[in-house]
Amino acid sequence: MMERKRLEGGVQEKLSAEDLKKRDSLLGHGASNGGGSQPGRNSPTQSTGHGGRARRPRTKSQVDHVLGTDTIEECLEELDRGLDLTNDEFDFEEIDELIDKFQQDERVKEALNQGVNLREYTAQTEAELYKTERESVEDYIAESKNFLTLLSTISTCDEVLQRMESMLSGFQADLGNISEEIKYLQEQSSSMSVKLRNRKAVETKLSAFIEDIMLPKNLVNNICATEVNEAYIAYLTKLNEKMEYAASADHSQVVAFKEMSPHLESLRVKAVAKIRDFLLQRIYALRKPNTNVQIMQQSTLVKYKYLFHFIATYAPDVALEVSRNYADTMSKIFTAHFKNYIQALAKLAYSTAKRGDLIGVPEEQRKTSGWLGSSAKVDIKQQVNVFSLGDRAQILQQIDSPSIVPHVALQTNQKIIFEELYRSYHHLLLDTITHECAFQSDFFGQAHTATPVAPPSLPPSLVAHSNPARGSSSGVLSREELFDEIFGKSLILFSEHLATHLLNSYDAVGLMLMVRMAHQFTNLMSKNRKLTIIHLEKYFVGSRLQLQERLATILAMNTDSLISAPIPRLNVQTTHPHYITLRFAEFSATRCVIFDGVEAEWWQMGGVAEACAGLRRAMGDLLTRMATLHSSKKNQTVFLINNYDLILKVLHEFNIQSEEVIKFSALCDEQITSFVDQELTHHYGRMIKFVETVKAKLAQTASPREINVDKDMCEKLIEDFGATWKAVFVQLSGEVMNFSNFIKGAEILRRVLMELAVLYKSFSDIVKTYHKDLSKNLVPDPTLTYEIKKYSRSFD
């Protein structure tokens, strides 16, 4: 406010008449350096002489208006000061700078280019400047009223702004108070939110606690008064939740919990008693005759499986009682069922082999009907029924076929071989076990997996029942214990029935089929998780050992029959294969086919491996003894070759690689080599001896030319061979007919002829070396080779 008054006083002072006169005097001429000035308004006085020059006051705005550059007055003063030689500040460098500065000005540059006198130009510029200054002052005076009006307006605005400032200051103070109030309210709101959240949390936990420990009247009535049905499971579920809550935390210091614990225990006892009675009634109902057990299990037990889970959790002694009653009931049911089934199928069984059906027993001793009896000439094809596999191998591909229905088979008077009965027994057993294990997993499964743990703070009654011991006398039966209780007697029944059958069984093929089926059943059991029970696996191992022990016994009986076979009564009259050989070949092939793909250590247990090796040796010995019945060495050899070849042929038909193939292949090759040597020795024994003698001499000397080779002998041998070799070829080709296997005979013939060609080649080389003159009488090699190929091809 004071500043505004001071400004107004200053403006008025400036606008006074006196000040105006002073302004006019300031615009007059001033004297300098001995010259004078004459006042005037329109034209300035220009000083003359060398002593000085007249000057007028100038303003920067006026100079800028005239020149449009820096103040000329200042520049001229600087120039005067620079040209004053008496001035101590005289500086030529500064003069150069000033000259350069003015040279850059466009008007100065234009004046210099036109050759204008600088002093005249300066005087003219000052006059223009003075004129402009006077006009500016007059304009200022003419606008003085407007300045006063502007001053008044500014004062008014200043007052308004002052009032606004005061008002805004008040507003600012009010806003500060409001901010404090808002901050206080925020703090109160946050505090109330925390309290509300805490109270809600307490309410939730307290409500849940009250809900969990409280026993509604309707729940108590439903547990105690209503009968056990599907709705009863919901009541038990609610009770179980409360008991689980009671066992999940330490409530020893809570008065409400202490009051409710006896009531919980009473409800537990009541519920367990009702569940026990209900389940036992349903289990005893399964014992009624003509009851479909599987349907009853699903309709009356499975849908109530939670009941058993409840008592297994809170009353394991009762659960153990129930499970034992169930196991005892099902054991009796299954044992009776399997016993009736075995007895019904026993009426359909027939035996394929008798005690005398052994490999080494002469045909006339066999009592089996349908065979040729004691005929001297035996039809071999009818002698393999007991020892060959035939269509019986189909049972291995039909292992999973449905079980036999006894009354259907009886109506058709169907007779069934025992291995089919064995398959049907065990197929029914596995089906029953599969269904039963599925039921047990569904009904008892939760009881086998749930194990709640009670803390020490619970009442002793709840502690005793909340953590039952599993698989013991005080807990629920384990899965293996249940299986043993239910199926133990049935498995014993099957084992005893099999043992009874094996006492009078002489069917080695049937036994081998049953051993293989036991292996297949074991594989089926391992693939089905529900059947992977150690007791069932032990049963099949025991069944297999029963079968293998009896099989080893029958193999030993067959071995004894070969060892004790009465050679004179075996009717060995020709060199063709004997029917005993065919029995052995079919039996060996049957064994190899049945156990193909099965680990050797698996089926060779129970003494089977040793019995098979003994049977093989006994067969070889029997053939050797039977061959002695032929008078000639040649016929003995042909007999052995034919019998060995029959064994190999039967085995090769089934693409079998076994110990029998290896052993009898070696024996057959040995006899073929013997036959070739016999034939060559018979026809060309002297030539063989001659060649061997010469080779022996050559081996003993270092000079082959020095040995003596009998020329007469050579000539004789050449003559004999030339006269007989074609007839010998014909005779040898006739020997092929002595072999039962025509292909094998042709193979032996080619081998004899090749050995003969080698022999004659060695003889020819000796003749050509020591008696070359005799070589012209030799049979030419191409001729001999041609004849050999001709006879060899004739049997292709």
Matching residue, tokens 């193999």: 555
Look at 262-271, 375-384, 519-528 and tell me which has the smallest mean pLDDT. Answer: 375-384
- Per-residue pLDDT at 249: 59
- Per-residue pLDDT at 531: 59
Rounded to an integer, what distance in angstroms lies between the CA atom of residue 205 and that of residue 211?
10
- Per-residue pLDDT at 89: 54
* 639-662 confidence digits (pLDDT tens): 999 999 999 999 998 888 888 899
**26 pLDDT more than 80:** no
CA-only gyration radius of the chain, Å: 68
Q: Which backbone phi and psi does 4 adopt, to 5 degrees?
A: -65, -40
Matching residue, tokens 């001229």: 76
- Per-residue pLDDT at 263: 84
Split at pLDDT 50, 70, 90, the class of 475 is low
* 580-620 confidence digits (pLDDT tens): 999 999 999 999 888 887 776 667 777 888 999 999 999 99
Split at pLDDT 50, 70, 90, the class of 300 is confident
* 477-493 confidence digits (pLDDT tens): 888 888 899 999 999 99
* 463-474 confidence digits (pLDDT tens): 434 444 334 444
**62 pLDDT more than 60:** no
- Per-residue pLDDT at 447: 52
Decide if 448 contacts 540 (C-beta within 8 A): no
Rounded to an integer, what distance in angstroms lies between the CA atom of residue 667 and that of residue 686?
28
- Per-residue pLDDT at 556: 94
Split at pLDDT 50, 70, 90, the class of 78 is low
* 201-240 confidence digits (pLDDT tens): 888 877 777 777 777 888 888 889 889 888 999 999 988 8
Split at pLDDT 50, 70, 90, the class of 349 is confident
Split at pLDDT 50, 70, 90, the class of 354 is confident
Distance between first and last Cα of the chain: 147
Q: Mean pLDDT throughout 38-58? A: 39
- Per-residue pLDDT at 366: 64
Percent of the chain topping pLDDT 70: 79
* 537-566 confidence digits (pLDDT tens): 889 989 999 999 999 999 999 999 999 998
Say whether 779 sits in a helix, a strand or coil. coil
Q: How many CB atoms lie within 10 A of CB 789?
A: 12
* 122-177 confidence digits (pLDDT tens): 888 888 888 888 888 888 888 888 888 888 999 999 999 999 999 998 888 888 88
- Per-residue pLDDT at 659: 84
**278 pLDDT more than 90:** yes
Rounded to an integer, what distance in angstroms lies between the CA atom of residue 547 and that of residue 502?
8
Closest CA relative to residue 55, chosen from 24, 85, 72, 97: 72
Matching residue, tokens 């009653």: 325
- Per-residue pLDDT at 461: 41
Q: What is the mean pLDDT of the chain?
A: 79
Decide if 322 contacts 316 (C-beta within 8 A): no
- Per-residue pLDDT at 290: 83
- Per-residue pLDDT at 379: 40
Q: Mean pLDDT throughout 441-455? A: 58
- Per-residue pLDDT at 247: 73
- What is the SS3 assignment for 557-613? HHHHHHHCCCHHHHCCCCCCCCHHHHHHHHHHHHHHHHCCCCCHHHHCCCCHHHHHH
**627 pLDDT more than 90:** yes
Q: Mean pLDDT throughout 504-514? A: 92
Look at 27-36, 413-422, 427-436 and tell me which has the smallest mean pLDDT. Answer: 27-36
Up-side HSE of residue 704: CA atoms within 13 Å toward CB?
9
**60 pLDDT more than 60:** no
Spell 213-231 as b/e; 16+ CB within 10 A means b.
bebeeebbebbeeeebeee
316-346 helix and 255-285 helix, angle to the nearest 10 degrees: 10
Q: Mean pLDDT throughout 308-332? A: 93
Percent of the chain topping pLDDT 90: 32
Split at pLDDT 50, 70, 90, the class of 250 is low
**111 pLDDT more than 80:** no
Q: Which backbone phi and psi does 417 adopt, to 5 degrees?
A: -70, 155
- Per-residue pLDDT at 795: 61
Q: Which backbone phi and psi does 696 adopt, to 5 degrees?
A: -70, -40
Q: Mean pLDDT throughout 717-723? A: 91
- Per-residue pLDDT at 284: 92
Rounded to an integer, what distance in angstroms lies between the CA atom of residue 137 and that of residue 27?
11
- What is the torsion angle, in degrees rounded to the nearest 10, for the CA atoms of residue 203, residue 206, residue 209 and residue 211? -60
Rounded to an integer, what distance in angstroms lies between the CA atom of residue 389 and that of residue 594?
9
- Per-residue pLDDT at 426: 93
